[in-house]
Structure formats: C-alpha cells, structure tokens
Amino acid sequence: MAKEPVRVLVTGAAGQIGYALVPMIARGVMLGPDQPVILHMLDIPPAAEALNGVKMELIDAAFPLLKGVVATTDVVEACTGVNIAVMVGGFPRKEGMERKDVMTKNVSIYKSQASALEKHAAANCKVLVVANPANTNALILKEFAPSIPEKNITCLTRLDHNRALGQIAEKLKVQVSDVKNAIIWGNHSSTQYPDVNHATACGKPVRELVKNDAWLNGEFITTVQQRGAAIIKARKLSSALSAASGACDHIRDWVLGTPEGTWVSMGVYSDGSYNVPAGLIYSFPVTCRNGEWTIVQGLPIDEFSRKKMDATADELSEEKALAYSCLS
Ligand code: NAD
Ligand code: LMR
C-alpha cells in the first residue's frame, strides 16, 4: 500500500542550497524511493518570483514521488503541518568572514521562525538547521520553541563529517564508502574537531593505514575546518550541492536509521556526555534507530582530543552569549 506523503519544509528555498536540495527531496534521496513527499518552500518577498520559478521547475521535472508543492512567503502557511523542517533560510558568509559574522542577521530569523514551527508544525516535527551559525541558530530555535522536544532540534555537521571521510579516502586512495566512523566534535566552524581516532577504512584503523600522525593531527584537521572557506574562495559562493547532499544524509539516517556498526556526526542538544557543557548544540557521534538519535558513549578521549573538544565548546558558549546580545 502506498505510504502517506510526508510534508517537508525547506526555508530559503529560492537560494542556492534550496535549489540543489528540493530536487533531491522530490527524488527520494532524503526519505527513500517509496516515500511520497509534499514540499513546503519558504522564502522572503524579494525572492518570491524566483521561488515561483523553482516551483515551476519542480512541476516540469514530473517527479513521481512529489505529491504537492506549497511555495510561499508566509511563514505560517509554510510551517503548517510539516513533519520535517530543513532551515536553510538566512544569509551566507562571504570571503573573509567567519560564520559567526552572519550571527546578527540570522539569529533573529531563528527566533521568529521558532514560534511559527512550535505553533503550526506537526507534532514530533524533526528540525535540521543548516543556516549559519548553524549550532547557535538551532539553539536559539530550541530556546524560543520550548514545546518542541529538544531531541527534535539538530544542526548540520554531516557536511563536515562527509568532508572528513572524503579527505581520508583521497589520502588512502580507497572508496569513500569504505571509510567509516570519523567524528566531528563541536561547532560547524573553524574550531570544529575532526577526529579519526576511531575511524576505519576497509575495516582497519585509519591511523594504522595512514601511518602519518603529523598529517592526521595537522593538515587533515585544518583542511576539514577550512573547507567551507576554500569553497567560497573557489566558487565565490558557499558550498551548495555538498550541503544539500549532507542535509539529505542527516535526515535519511535520522529517520531511517544508521547502518549497523556505523555512526555519523550530528549537531544535537548536549546532555553533558563527554563533559561537553549541557545545553549547547554540539556535534557528537550518534547512531539512529526508530527515528531517534543516541550519542555514542564510552569512546576513549586522549589529551589532544580533549583540548580540541573543549576549545570548540568554549566557542559555542561565547556564540550563545553573543546571540543573546544580538536579540536583546
Ligand atoms: P543563499 O543566499 O543562496 O540562500 C538563502 C536564501 O534564504 C535566500 O533565498 C534568501 O532570500 C532566504 N532567506 C533570507 N531570510 C529568510 C527568512 N527570514 N526566511 C526564509 N528565507 C530567507 O544562501 P545559501 O548558499 O543557500 O546558504 C544558506 C545558509 O546555509 C547560509 O547561512 C550558509 O552559510 C549556510 N550553509 C551551511 C552549511 C552547513 O554545513 N551547516 C553549508 C553551506 C551553507
Ligand atoms: C560550509 O561549511 O561550506 C558552509 O558553512 C558555508 C561557510 O560559510 O563555510
């Protein structure tokens, strides 16, 4: 029997990530090849015409799984009845900016959209924040939507996770699908800590295969931390297709589950695991079952990792304070 359609909201849908993301959702990349979807697309009035153009293209693409399209600049209409909300709307950073430099513009959007989601989304709506600063926008959304369970509000660090897998695959000349269990700890920013201490390639520890701790503790980390800036420098625009693909991976694994023996990185509400201050949205290794994520527990943390995990937590605490000062 055909499944009931799932309503998926994409905010900022007329932007570049939106343009890459909505066809992926309509093709079943996010929720599976047998899951019909109704797309809700929100943007702001200056982008209304472009948004309508995206709607026209979705119709023209004749996606069999796409059962309806709502394209609107009305946040209430956009949020009504949605089961999944992918929050991409906001302003991207430009060359020379840090992600927190877009804070003033973006956190106020997340405060106001929090109430719309809280009031109008379906019960148990799952939220993924993509717009930067992603962790702090997600935190603000959580704080201003207190009736949405905190487990349902997450941010995107899957792009960083995939970047880490990609760098290891390139170094070892193996398929990226053979590299598993890297971890992104902390903030989706240049302080994030890409950790390969527990990662494997073709079933063997990455550290044993790479045989170059200086590279793993140095250039590998900075390459992943700075990859967003490198893309901006090269494209004069921030990453879009890889961000859209990461967003699909994040929701797919959250809803349909992570493969046995594999974890992924998600920005989630910290419960104090690994001595990360509770109450931050921090990227952890997680496994997913039955639509719920669980932080992987008990991984040994060496002194090098501890310092890096603490530094990125400190930055998130500072961002939280800065976000509140922008909102007051
Ligand atoms: P973009 O400028 O191309 O698109 C953003 C869209 O959001 C625009 O169409 C804009 O009109 C719309 N918008 C602005 N305010 C809005 C509001 N209040 N409600 C709804 N829509 C609104 O930018 P982009 O390249 O698509 O990037 C979007 C965001 O994603 C940026 O903040 C970027 O930094 C971030 N990003 C995050 C990751 C990640 O891994 N977390 C990766 C790439 C980009
Ligand atoms: C990315 O990681 O590509 C995005 O967050 C865009 C940026 O500003 O780096």
Which pLDDT score is estimated for 92? 81
Cα(202) to centroid(ligand 1), Å: 36
Pocket of ligand 2 (CB under 6 A): 92-93, 99, 132, 159, 228-229, 231, 238-239
Cα(93) to centroid(ligand 1), Å: 9
* pLDDT band per the 50, 70, 90 thresholds, residue 328: confident
C-alpha 20/C-alpha 245 separation (Å) is 8
Q: How many other β-carbons are positioned within 10 Å of the β-carbon of residue 147?
A: 8
- Dihedral (C-alpha) 245, 90, 130, 62: value to the nearest 10 degrees? -40
Which pLDDT score is estimated for 326? 86
One-letter identity of residue 214: A
DSSP 152-203: GEEE--HHHHHHHHHHHHHHHT--GGGEE--EEEB-SSTT-EEE-TT-EETT
173 strand-pairing partners: none
**pLDDT one-digit tens code per residue, 163-194:** 999 999 999 999 999 999 999 999 999 999 99
User: Which of 323, 184, 196 has its CA nearest to residue 266?
Assistant: 184
| Residues contacting 92, CB < 8 A, separation 6+ | 15, 102, 132, 237, 238
Cα(4) to centroid(ligand 2), Å: 34
68 strand-pairing partners: 38
Given the CA of residue 130, which atom of ligand 1 is nearest to it?
Answer: 41
By most ligand atoms within 8 Å of CB, the mutation choice from 21, 43, 51, 227 for ligand 1 is 43
Of 92 and 65, more confident: 65
**pLDDT one-digit tens code per residue, 116-144:** 999 999 999 999 999 999 999 999 999 99
Q: Cis before residue 194, ω within 30 degrees of 0?
A: no
- SS3 per-residue string spanning 5-20: CEEEEEECCCCHHHHH
Strand ranges in 6-88 using DSSP code E only, listed in sequence order: 6-11, 37-42, 66-72, 84-87
Kindly report the average pLDDT of the chain as a whole number: 96
% of residues, the chain, pLDDT over 90: 92
| Residues contacting 95, CB < 8 A, separation 6+ | 229, 232, 233, 236
pLDDT at 99 > cutoff 80? no
Q: What's the pTM? A: 0.98
State the average pLDDT over residues 289-312: 98
ipTM for the complex? Answer: 0.99
Active-site residue numbers?
A: 188
State the average pLDDT over residues 149-160: 98
| Residues contacting 119, CB < 8 A, separation 6+ | 76, 79
* pLDDT band per the 50, 70, 90 thresholds, residue 105: confident
C-alpha 47/C-alpha 13 separation (Å) is 9
User: Contact 3/36 with Cβ under 8 angstroms?
Assistant: yes
State the average pLDDT over residues 23-39: 98
* pLDDT band per the 50, 70, 90 thresholds, residue 91: confident
**pLDDT one-digit tens code per residue, 183-228:** 999 999 999 999 999 999 999 999 999 999 999 999 999 999 999 9
pLDDT at 234 > cutoff 90? yes
Cα(302) to centroid(ligand 1), Å: 36
Cα(92) to centroid(ligand 1), Å: 6
Q: Which ligand is nearest to the CA of 90?
A: 1
- Ligand 1 atom 38 nearest Cα: 130
Which pLDDT score is estimated for 98? 76
C-alpha 161/C-alpha 207 separation (Å) is 17
C-alpha 176/C-alpha 174 separation (Å) is 6
Q: Which ligand is nearest to the CA of 17?
A: 1
- Ligand 1 atom 1 nearest Cα: 15
C-alpha 164/C-alpha 133 separation (Å) is 20
Given the CA of residue 231, which atom of ligand 2 is nearest to it?
Answer: 3
pLDDT at 297 > cutoff 80? yes
Which pLDDT score is estimated for 6? 98
* pLDDT band per the 50, 70, 90 thresholds, residue 1: confident
